[in-house]
Structures are given as C-alpha cells and as structure tokens.
C-alpha cells in the first residue's frame, strides 16, 4: 500500500528515534499489516514529544500514519487509502497518575488493560472496560475503537468515565481537553471526538479515567429460553424493574454456542440465553437472585442457572470475548455493530434468522441492554463449498469474497433496515470483515446528514490527511 519511503524520509525518522526504534525490515513490518497493506516503516515512540515530532515529519512529508499499540483491533475499519508509517505507541505504557482516594487515574495509551486492571485491583478498584482481546488490548486501542464492554449496562461507555485526554493532532500539536477530576466543564470536550475515531483525528498520548470500587460479591445468572420472544420479554421486564444488573446480554443460540455459555446437552444447543451479572453486598446479590428467578419463571424460561464466582468468570469471559471467539470460530466472519434502542433491538433479534437463512449465512447475535447489538455473519458450509474450495491464498480469498459479498451486503442492509425501522437513519456499521470482502461492501451504513460536520472536524485535527486515511466512515 505504501509507495515506499525515500531514503531521506527514513533518515529523518531514524534521526528522531534512532535506528533500533525505526524498523524497516520485512519481518518487523509484517506485524503492522492492516488489511494486507504493509507500511514502509514502523516507529516506536517513547513519549508524547516524540509522537509530535513524528507527526510533524509526517505532515510535512505527506506520509500516512496509523497509530497502534496492542494491534489486536487493527482489523477494524476501512482498507487504508494510504499507509506509510506504523506509529507504535506500546512503549508509552506508564501509569502517569493514580489517586485511589479520589478514584481517578491517568495512563498512557500503551498500557495493557489486563495489567492495568491488576494494578487497580490491588486497591480494590477497576475500570468498567471488560473488553475482548483482553490479554493484548491496550488503553489507546480500546478508546480509539470504543471497544464494547458488557459492563456498559451499568457504567455507561467510555464517554461517561473518561475525564480528559492528551493527544497529538495530525499537525503534530500536543493538545489536551477535559481534566483529571470527576466533574469539570472547562472548555470544549474535544476528547469525546477521539473515542471511537480509529485514530483518524489524533494519536492519544494520555487518557484520564475515573475508577470504580470493586464489589464485595458477584454472581452470574443464565436464563435459557426456547424462543426469542420470551427472552426479549424477560430482558424488557428486567429493564422495567428496579434491579441494577451489571451485565445484561441476550444471546441467540449461535452466539451462545460460539461463546461457550453453558451448553448442557444437545437439546439446549437451540436455546436463547440471557446472561446477567449482579454485584454488590451479599444482600443485594441475593435480592437479584430472587427477583431474577421469579422474572425468568414469569417469562417461561426453560432453565435458570446461578454461577458463583469461579464459574461466573467463565460465563462472563464468553460474553466479554464474544467478538474474538466469533472471529476465531470462522475466519471469514463479518461482525456488525448496531446501536439499538430496545424495541428495535427486538426487531433485529426476531428478523435475524430469516435474513441469514435466506442468504445461506449463519448469524450470531449478542445484544446488551445498554443498546448495542453485535451480529456475526459467516457463510454456511454448503455456501462455502458452493463458492469455492477452502480458500488458501489471496486470489482464492478474493474470488470467494466476490461470491459471498452480494449475500453479505444484502444481509447487512436488511439488518440495518430492521434497526432503523422507526424511520431513523441507519445506525450500524460493519466493524469486522475479511479484507477481501471490505472492497466489495459498504461498511458504514450509508450517508448521514452530519457527515459534512465530521469532515470539518477531521479537517481541524488532521488537515493533511496524515492519520489513518480511508479507515473511518468512508473518507474521514
């Protein structure tokens, strides 16, 4: 993808960082491929100042830069329009400030979420970011992709507990917004724009969070249902009740199987499942157990199971790692991210099987009450056989993708249609998709009326199109 860098350009980067942190050998560069595109160089910055210098060089030389660190989610987004330099932020991995008494935290983007959670746990605290790829994912990537955490049901998404950020724009300016305290309305909340922006506005160099106290006890409940309607009814009754579940996810049978949510026996492979976690004091958890059991009975659950802490962790891991498990389950999986309000979520859940069946696809759905449906689509065995023998190289992939693409594209459209059946704009997008298929389908769900404003925002932060061009919303 890169046109290659001139010797002078490489020399400029080496001058900034030294030869060991400026990598140009094919073996190293293979680690930074995005949709098959390989950069001409990968540079490992050590602090915000270096990030700024690199981006100033990139702006001057019109180089395309993709920031990364854990590289677990580089598959998300459009095929890069250009890609010259991978900006590796994994060495920015320090906790810059942590005030457990104030429940506030400031970290660099390369901090791995697992390491961070372990450190917070020593103080009885945590961040509500139970995200997929948790052994590789870093804070920067989690924020830049707005990675889904099932704890959203209770704690909201990153925009609700990120207090401020420092970042480097496409012009190489180090800037910040927000602050470090839990309440603050000083200046524009520019950092909110960076959440989920796939690195197209700025390279994040610091994120300030509020942290949360760990609960005394935690229990997981799994209710199984023979049909979508009764499972949906159960979820809706919980939403209307005064209960305060930490996690509330609805999984269709395929999703439950993929994520390993307690399939006990053949008959249950077709069950819809609702995974709930309750946390807090023993009395609070007990209250949830009692009320949830009653609500599940009223909604005609086939089964209601309770898991203590050890088993709970396994069930929750399936929910947390749903995306990774779906991708590992079939290499040609496409995963849509569809924000929904509950009534429309119900629409998606009910229509999904028919939409997928008609196109020879399998569909796994995991839907949180916080309002996000994640739909994994992959071809059925017979569809695959019909398309080609198992694709082994790029050409075979491309030809297979050619044949799947129309079915996939029309399934994506149908699902978006179901999610916007109140007349609103299409709300979802394709988050994960085989590179070959990306060239054939529209990832972002069509035009939005605020697109021109987004272009303006992009232009303010990155007027030269240095940062991750082509990766976000078709052209940002």
Partner 1 sequence: MRGNCSKSFAAAALTRPRSEDYSDRGAHFGAHARHFMNPKLIRELQSLLGRDAVLFAREDLLMYDYDGSVEQARPDCVVFPSSTRDVSEIVKLAKRFEAPLVGRGAGTGLSGGALPRAGGIVVVFARMNRILEIDAGSFRAVVQPGVVNLDVTRAVEHLGLYFAPDPSSQKSCTVGGNVSENAGGPHTLAYGVTTNHVTGLEIVLPEDGRVVRVGGKTSETPGYDLTGLMVGSEGTLALVTEITLRLSRKPEAVKTLLAVFDAVDDATRSVVEITRRGITPAACEMLDGWTLRTVEDFVHAGFPRDCAAVLLLEVEGLAEGVEEQAGEISAVCRDCGAREVRLARDARERDLLWKGRKNAFGAIGRLAPSYYVLDGVIPRTRLPETLQRIESIGETYGFRIGNIFHAGDGNLHPLILFDPRHAGEFERVVTAAREIIQHCIAMGGALTGEHGVGMEKNELMPLMFTPEDLALMARVRDAFNPAGLLNPQKILPLGKGCGELRVLPQSVGSALPA
Q: Compute the least distance from the CB of residue 456 to partner 1, in Å.
A: 5
| Overall residue count recorded for the chain in this entry | 476
Smallest distance, partner 1 to C-beta of residue 156, A? 7
- Minimum gap (Å) between residue 192 Cβ and partner 1: 3
What is the C-alpha to C-alpha distance for residues 415 and 410, in angstroms, rounded to an integer?
A: 9
Between 201 and 223, whose beta carbon lies closer to partner 1?
A: 201
What six digits make up the tokens of 161? 């507990």
Q: Residue 22 or 146: which CB sits closer to partner 1? A: 146
Instruction: Write the CA distances from 2 to 66, 74, 89, 139, 474, integer angstroms.
Output: 12, 17, 20, 27, 19
User: What six digits make up the tokens of 185?
Assistant: 């309305």
CB 385 within 8 A of CB 369: no
Q: Which is nearer to partner 1, 90 or 230 (CB)?
A: 230
How many helices (H) and strands (E) the chain has is answered by: 18, 19
Using alpha carbons only, give the angle 338, 81, 451 rounded to the nearest 5 degrees. 45
Closest CA to 209 of 295, 271, 117, 90: 117
Is residue 104 helix, strand or coil?
strand
Q: List all residues 6 or more positions away from 278 whose beta carbon is below 8 Å from its beta carbon.
A: 218, 219, 221, 243, 244, 245, 246, 284, 285, 288, 289, 292
- C-alpha torsion angle, residues 10, 12, 15, 17 (rounded to 10): -70
The answer to whether residues 52 and 65 touch, using CB atoms and an 8 Å cutoff, is no
Cβ 75 to partner 1, closest distance in Å?
A: 17
Q: What are phi and psi of 423, to 5 degrees?
A: 90, -5
Give the nearer residue to partner 1 in terms of CB position, either 85 or 232. Answer: 232
Which spans in 248-380 are helix H? 253-258, 282-298, 309-320, 322-329, 342-357
The least distance separating partner 1 from the CB of residue 160, rounded to whole angstroms, comes to: 5
Smallest distance from partner 1 to CB 182, Å: 5
Distance in Å, CB of 117 to partner 1, minimum: 16
The nearest distance, CB 104 to partner 1, in angstroms, is: 6
Beta strands at 334-339 and 372-379: parallel, antiparallel or unpaired: antiparallel
Compare residues 410 and 442 and give the one whose CB is closer to partner 1.
442
Q: Among residues 10 and 289, whose Cβ is nearest to partner 1?
A: 289
H/E stretch holding 365 reads strand 361-368
Instruction: Choose between 3 and 455: whose C-beta lies nearer to partner 1.
Output: 455
- Smallest distance, Å, CB 49 to partner 1? 12
Residue (101 or 265) nearer to partner 1, CB: 101
Q: For residue 373, what are its two tokens?
A: 């449906």
- Residue pair 70/133 in contact (Cβ under 8 Å)? The answer is yes
Least distance to partner 1, CB of residue 98, Å: 11
Cβ nearer to partner 1, comparing 28 with 236:
236
Closer CB to partner 1, 177 or 262, in the complex:
177
């Amino acid at each position: 993808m890169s046109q290659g860098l001139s010797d002078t350009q490489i020399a400029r980067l080496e001058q900034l960082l030294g030869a060991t942190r400026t990598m140009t050998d094919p073996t190293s560069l293979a680690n930074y491929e995005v949709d098959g595109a390989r950069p001409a160089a990968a540079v490992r910055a050590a602090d915000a100042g270096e990030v700024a210098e690199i981006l100033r060089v990139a702006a001057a030389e019109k180089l395309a830069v993709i920031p990364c660190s854990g590289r677990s989610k580089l598959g998300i987004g459009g095929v890069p329009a250009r890609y010259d330099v991978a900006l590796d932020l994994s060495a920015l991995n320090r906790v810059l400030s942590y005030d457990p008494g104030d429940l506030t935290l400031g970290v660099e983007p390369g901090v791995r979420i697992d390491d961070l959670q372990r450190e917070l746990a020593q103080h009885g605290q945590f961040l509500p970011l139970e995200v997929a790829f948790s052994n590789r994912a870093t804070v920067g990537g989690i924020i830049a992709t707005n990675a889904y955490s099932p704890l959203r049901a209770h704690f909201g998404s990153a925009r609700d507990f990120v207090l401020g950020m420092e970042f480097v724009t496409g012009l190489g300016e180090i800037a910040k917004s927000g602050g470090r305290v839990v309440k603050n309305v000083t200046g524009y909340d520019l950092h909110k724009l960076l959440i989920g922006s796939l690195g197209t506005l700025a390279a994040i160099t610091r994120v300030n969070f509020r942290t949360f106290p760990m609960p005394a006890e935690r229990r997981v409940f799994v209710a199984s249902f023979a049909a979508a309607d009764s499972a949906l009814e159960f979820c809706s009754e919980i939403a209307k009740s005064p209960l305060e579940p930490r996690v509330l996810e609805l999984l269709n049978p395929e999703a439950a199987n993929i994520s390993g949510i307690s399939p006990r026996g053949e008959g249950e492979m077709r069950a819809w499942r609702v995974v709930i976690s309750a946390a807090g004091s023993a009395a609070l958890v007990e209250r949830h157990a009692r009320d949830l059991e009653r609500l599940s009975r009223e909604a005609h659950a086939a089964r209601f199971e309770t898991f203590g802490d050890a088993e709970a962790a396994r069930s929750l891991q399936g929910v947390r790692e749903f995306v990774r498990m779906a991708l590992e389950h079939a290499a040609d999986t496409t995963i849509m991210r569809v924000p929904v309000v509950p009534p429309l979520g119900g629409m998606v859940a009910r229509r999904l099987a028919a939409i997928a069946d008609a196109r020879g696809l399998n569909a796994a759905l995991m839907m949180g009450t916080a309002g996000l449906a994640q739909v994994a689509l992959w071809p059925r065995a017979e569809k695959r056989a019909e398309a080609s023998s198992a694709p082994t190289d790029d050409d075979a992939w491309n030809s297979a993708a050619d044949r799947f693409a129309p079915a996939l594209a029309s399934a994506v459209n149908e699902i978006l249609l179901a999610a916007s059946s109140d007349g609103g704009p299409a709300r979802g997008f394709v988050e994960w998709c085989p590179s070959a298929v990306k060239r054939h389908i529209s990832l972002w769900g069509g035009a939005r009326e605020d697109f021109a404003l987004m272009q303006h925002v992009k232009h303010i932060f990155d007027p030269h199109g240095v940062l991750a061009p082509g990766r976000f919303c078709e052209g940002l």
